[in-house]
Structures are given as structure tokens and as C-alpha cells.
Structure 1
Amino acid sequence: MTNYTYYPAINWNEIEDVIDKSTWEKLTEQFWLDTRIPLSNDLDDWRTLSDKEKQMVGYVFGGLTLLDTVQSESGMDQLRKDVRTPHEEAVLNNIQFMESVHAKSYSSIFSTLNTKAEIEEIFHWTNTNEFLQRKAEIINEIYKNGTPLQKKVASVYLETFLFYSGFYTPLYYLGNNKLPNVAEIIKLIIRDESVHGTYIGYKFQLGFNELPEEEQESLKEWMYNLLFELYENEERYTEELYDEIGWTEEVKTFLRYNANKALMNLGQDPLFPDTADDVNPIVMNGISTGTSNHDFFSQVGNGYLLGTVEAMQEEDYLIGME
């Protein structure tokens, strides 16, 4: 009698794509939880902010919570349907869990800095803001109805571009010696997203390079049209968040810079002229996600728990494609 395999076991001793293994190792080395970051130490800084700044910070993190919710609940579930290897599915499982950790981390920030009434107002704004809901809708529709490669494009745009209108705020405050523990969480999230976007972009490139030239050109046109649509909406969202604070144009520069990074992850040419030199240097300094020097007894930061795993560097956007 012949025995047939109903469900094959994953074998990490037989690796089909070494990038799966190296990404798994990088992500597990970077593992963290928000509960180990002493957010209450930022309360003195929080009290120095104006009411407009406090409202802006709340809305920023509400928006980030929504996008991480989309990515954890819809995005990774859709990407798992089209994996090339069983090890890729394991990596996506890791990514999905960390996206949930990210979403939960923002609630830890809210519970530390905001009252119950303020938190309810933040989530009402998040769930009703026209431009925030629009970008979530665009991405989620692609997750539901797009091709496997289109879904990967949407995921990379979310991870490497759309999050950054929100990331700008804590990085700016960090550069001005405010809210360092809130920024610590954001730096940990950026470190994760850097790997997520690069890995999924690499998987996109494998599939893209297998397409006939005519299909490649059609997909490239779709990609750039989608980026224009998302950027136009993101401009409106940025204006709504930052006009009263006066940061709008600086944030838009940061967005364009990161839109180019998303295209690089996908193996495509940059669209915008903006480079790192055009971004506010205070923010660029903050985006470097090296270890923080937290005191062993009073604070636990990524320096103590997680070693010195760095964010993806410029050359890492060419991962596996030499």
C-alpha cells in the first residue's frame, strides 16, 4: 500500500532560497515587545507640548494603527496565498505577528499619554478621516482583487512609503530631545518595516523578472500610476495632519524620499528628485535605528534586549539581485 503525503513538514535543513533563511534570522534577532519600553518616562516631555501638537501626535499614531491593522489582518494573509517556498510562508507568519505587535504598541502609547476620552476621539478621527480611509481602501482592494505581483507592490508601498507620514513626527521630536521612549518604539518599528519591505520587494522582483517584456512594461505602468494616486492622497492627508503645525512641506519631502525607497525595493527607478540630502537632517539622524543607551536597571531599550541589529542599508535594497 502506497502512503501519500497529505501535508508536508517544513524542512529548514533544505533551503530553496537563502534569502528566506537570512530574513528569518534577521527578524528573530530583532524581536521586541512594547511592554519593555518605559513610555511613562516621556510624560514630562508630553506636558510641554501644545494642545495642537498633542492632537497631531494622537492622530498620527491613530493613522499608523489603522495601516498596521490592514497589513496584519489582510495583507499578510493575501501574500501567503502566493508563496514560492514553505520558508517564505514562515517568514510571512513572522511579519504578520510583528505587524500586530506594531498596532498594539500604538495603544500602549495612547494609554500612557492620553485620557480615555482622548483615545476615543483619536479612534473616531481615524475611522472617519477621508484621506486615511482612502489609502487603506486602495491598498486593501489590491489585496483582495489584485494579482500576486500587484499585492506585493501594494505591500511594499505600505511598508516603505505610506507609514512615513506618521513616522516623521516621533523622529522629529527625538531629534529635538523630546519623547525618546515613544521614538524608541517607532525606531524599532522602522527597523522591522525596513526588512519587511526589502524582503517582499525581493520576492516581487523574482516574479517580475519571469514575466515577458510586454507584461513587465504593463505592470510598471500600473505601479507608477498607483504611486501617483497614493502620493496625491498622501499630500492631502499630510496637509490635514501638519498644516497647523507648519511641517507640511518637510513631511512631503520625506514622503517623496521614501516613495523612491519603495521603488528601489521593487527594483525600479526612483520617481522623485528628492534625496536624503533634502530631508530635514534632524529626522534623517533619527531614522538611524542603532541601539539606544538605556540604563540597565531603570530602562530597557533595544540596546539591552536586542543587540545592535541595524536597519537596512542602501546596498541592502539590492538583496539577492546581484
Structure 2
Amino acid sequence: MTKRYDAINWNKIEDMIDKLTWEKLVEQFWTDTRIPLSNDLGDWARLPKNEKEMLAKVLGGLTLLDTLQSQDGVESLKDSIRTQHEEAVYNNIQFMESMHAKSYSAIFSTLNSKAEIEDLFQWINTDALLQEKTETINDIYQNGTELQRKVASVMLESFLFYSGFFAPLHYLGNNKLPNVAEIIKLILRDESVHGTYIGYKFQIGYNQLAEDEQEEMKNWTYELLFRLYQNEVKYAEYLYDEIGWTERVKVFLRYNANKALQNLGFDPLFPDTANDVDPVIMNGISTGTSNHDFFSQVGNGYLVGMVESMEAEDYEKWTV
């Protein structure tokens, strides 16, 4: 017997957060082709060789994570949708994750030679630390429960990307590579919405669990985070030790690990707050996407706090 197929009705919203998130993501839409990356070639030429190698690997690692999210991560969340509108939001997220992965290639094709790009992708696909974190997350996508998959997704969106985001934000704060940083800031803005939205959906399911199941889920989450953090520290040391940025990156990682937990409705694990993060980096996040103004609010200035404010109490207000 053929199953009846129901048309999606955007005039009848079951969860207002689906509609608000859809509108925010559409409002933020962008493409890499609008960013004049070639304007950064002068800054790139003046960077020391070790910094060029570091930045290429940083962006390469981000490419792998966005590939995982676009090919397997978001798809794994669709098995547990609660509304048709939720699936539409996931479709939007999935497309933008593909856009993010493509944008890194736009950077490589502008700054690197063909041989350098080939060597870089060989490194991406074989580096043990990179593969460890993608295999850990993907195993959960393939074999985890509904809530475990959402936790893994939030960990990736709100935490694992940030070791890579640090370098472009550092250069931006020092008046270098502004167009590379612009792409990173656009990606960061998207990931902030993705992490809060998926975290919200996690909290709906989590709050329906029995008390003992909640405790088990919470413990599993903290154990996963600590495992990912241990690997991420080694990854940061590999990337940044030679140029002396590692300790600042670790603070940024711990701060964003706490933000991932916040998105899931859990208490922070680490003592680090925004006040502990290098102010150059925090300023790079909060000053917005000011270089380009090609869509209504894309490039017009954006505070990450606008997304970070999408916490549980705000969701409750919106759904009243």
C-alpha cells in the first residue's frame, strides 16, 4: 500500500523555532564567489613559510569536517525529525555545509599551487589526529541513538571547528588576510545557528527521558567531549606549537567546548570564559562581516551573540 504523501504547509507551524531558524538561515545566505580572495595575495606572499603551511592545514582540516557534516552528519539527523519544517531546516543546513567545504577550495585555488593542493589533500585524508576526530563523530552518526547523533553534531558545529577558526581570526585582528577571514566569519555565523538549533532539538528529546536515562545521556556527553578535547589538544599542538599560539588556542577550545555544552543545556566543563579568550579573537568574532554587503544582512555586521542568545528560555518565549 502506497503511503499518503503530505505537502509541507508553512502556514501551519508546529514549532516556531523551525520557522525562525529557516528565516535566519535564508537571511544569512552567501556564496564564496562574492568574496574577492585574490585581494589577500599580497598578505599571503608576506607570511612566513611555516605560517602558510599551518594555515593551509587549518583550512584543510575544516574542509574534512564540513565534508563529514554535509555528507553524513546532517543526513543522520533526518531519521528523527518531529516536523516537516525541521527537515526543511536540515536541508538548508546540509546545503550550507557543502558551501562551506567548497569555500575552502576557493581559498586553496587562490593562494596555493596545484601541487601544494594535492599534497594538502593527501595530508587531510591520512593525518591520524584528523581521522581520529572524524571517525569518532561519524561512528556516532552511523551507529548512535537519535540523541547521541545530535550531541555529536553539536560537538562538531560548536567545538571542533574552532581550532581551525582561530588562525584566520588572529590574522584578521592583525590586519592580514581580511577576505579569507570574511569567509571564516560567514561560516562561523552559520555554524552558530546550526549548533543552537540542533542543540534545541536535542533538549526536546532529552527532557522526555526518564531521570536515570537523562543522567546516562549526560555522562555519555561529557565523556565524549573529554575524549574529543584530548585529541583536539594534540591537534592544536601539532598545528600551532612551532609558531607559539598553542596555549591561546587551547583556551579558545575550552571556551567553545563550554558553548557546545550550553547549546545542549548542560553545565560547562571548563573554567574558561570569554574573558579568558584572546581579545583579538573575540573581537574578530563580534565585529561582524563588514567587508562585503551583497545581500540584505550578509556582510552588514553581525554579532555572534545574536545567535548565542537563542538559548532555551528564548525558544520558550518564541513558542508561546
| TM-score normalized by the length of structure 1 | 0.94
1:107 corresponds in structure 2 to 105
1:236 & 1:83 partners in 2: Cα distance? 36
The residue type equivalent to 2:284 in the other structure is G
2:117 partner amino acid = I
Aligned to 1:315: 309
Kept after mapping to 2: 8 A contact 1:291/1:303: no
Aligned residues: 315
Deviation digits for residues 116-147 of structure 1 (CA, Å, limit 9, x no counterpart): 01111111111111111000000000000000
Shift of 1:310: 3.9
Equivalent of 2:281 in 280, 283, 292: 283
Please report how far the alpha carbon of residue 302 of structure 1 lies from its aligned counterpart in structure 2 after TM superposition: 6.5
Percent identity (aligned): 68
Among 46, 49, 55, which residue is 1:48 paired with?
A: 46
**Which residue is equivalent to 1:256?**
254
1:207, 1:228 → 2: CA distance? Answer: 23
Two-structure CA RMSD over aligned residues (Å): 1.7
Contact 1:198 1:265 in 2 (8 A): yes
Measured in 2, the distance between the counterparts of 1:306 and 1:251 equals 26
* Distance in 2, Cα, partners of 1:221 & 1:321: 26
Equivalent residues in 2 for 1:127-166 (5 A)? 127-166=125-164
Matched, 1:7 2:5: yes
Corresponding residue SS for 2:208 = coil
Match of 1:232?
230
Structure 1's 302 and 308: CA in aligned 2 closer, same or farther, altered over 3 A?
A: farther
Q: CA deviation at 1:5?
A: 6.1
1:304–1:39: structure 2 CA closer, same or farther, 3 Å change rule? farther
For 1:214-261, what per-residue CA distance to the aligned partner results, in whole angstroms no more than 9, with x for missing partners?
Answer: 000000000000000000000111111111111111000000000000
Alignment of 1:1-322 (within 5 A): 6-288=4-286, 290-294=288-292, 307-313=300-306, 314-318=308-312, 319-321=314-316
- CA positional deviation for 1:317: 2.7
Unaligned runs of 5+ in 2: none
1:291: Cα distance to partner? 3.5
Deviations along 1:19-71, whole A, 9 cap, x unmatched? 00000000000000000000000000001100000000000000000000000
Q: Which runs of 5 or more structure 1 residues have no equivalent in the other structure? A: 295-299
TM-score, with normalisation over the residues of structure 2? 0.95
Distance 2:35 2:129 in 1: 31
Instruction: Note the C-alpha offset of 1:303.
Output: 7.5
CA distance 1:269–1:184, change in 2 (3 Å): same
| Cα contact 1:191–1:289 (8 A) shared by 2 | no
Cα separation, 2, equivalents of 1:311 and 1:22? 16
Task: Show CA shifts across 1:159-202 (max 9, x none).
Answer: 00000000000000000000000000000000000000000000
